[in-house]
């Protein structure tokens, strides 16, 4: 199931951008530059069990430390280890990182957020579950 990040609920001042080519959908979530900023998407009518989520992102400010890290929460519970993303060569180069997650039967929320200890500064394009 593919979920476009820009259709989710924006958190803490995150914005929707469309100024960098190569994104899918109508845009991407940007301005994840301060604690509390991020996005929540809802995957509806999912089967319970272990699966993966592929998160498509760009991290083009190569002056910042690599890798970048954000916290992933599934149904409000932090996924151990969070999400680690390597820098990309530019804001128009998109990469995918895969994370193992556990889902419950029915609707599931996935929140990708800059939490304490994270360094963020990424654009999030989409979540692809399963």
Structure confidence by residue, pLDDT tens digits, 63-105: 777 799 999 999 999 999 999 999 999 999 999 999 999 999 9
Of 52, 54, 56, 53, the closest CA to residue 27 belongs to 56
Question: What's the pTM value of the predicted model, to 2 decimals?
Answer: 0.95
Q: Is 43 helix (H, G, I), strand (E, B) or coil?
A: strand
H/E segment holding residue 100: strand 95-103
**Tens-place pLDDT, residues 17-65:** 999 999 999 999 999 999 999 999 999 999 999 999 999 999 997 777 7
The predicted pLDDT at position 64 comes to 78
Domain ranges within the chain, ordered by starting residue = 2-129
Of 81, 72, 69, 64, the closest CA to residue 103 belongs to 72
Question: Tokens standing for 64?
Answer: 């910042």
Distances 46 to 1, 56, 102 between C-alpha atoms, Å? 9, 20, 11
Give the mean model confidence (pLDDT) for residues 107-113.
98
Q: Is 7 helix (H, G, I), strand (E, B) or coil?
A: helix
Cα–Cα distance, 22 to 28 (Å, whole number): 10
Question: Tokens standing for 89?
Answer: 């060569």
CATH superfamily of 2-129: Galactose-binding domain-like (2.60.120.260)
């Amino acid at each position: 199931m593919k979920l476009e990040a820009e259709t989710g609920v924006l958190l803490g001042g995150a914005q929707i951008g469309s100024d960098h080519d190569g994104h899918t959908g109508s845009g991407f979530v940007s301005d994840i530059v301060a604690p509390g900023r991020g996005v929540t998407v809802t995957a509806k009518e999912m089967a319970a069990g272990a699966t993966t989520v592929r998160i498509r992102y760009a991290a083009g400010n190569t002056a910042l430390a690599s890798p970048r890290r954000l916290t992933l929460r599934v149904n409000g519970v932090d996924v151990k280890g969070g999400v680690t993303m390597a820098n990309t060569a530019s804001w128009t180069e998109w990469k995918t990182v895969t994370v193992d997650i556990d889902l419950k039967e029915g609707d599931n929320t996935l929140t990708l957020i800059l939490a304490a200890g994270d360094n963020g500064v990424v654009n999030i394009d989409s979540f692809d579950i399963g």
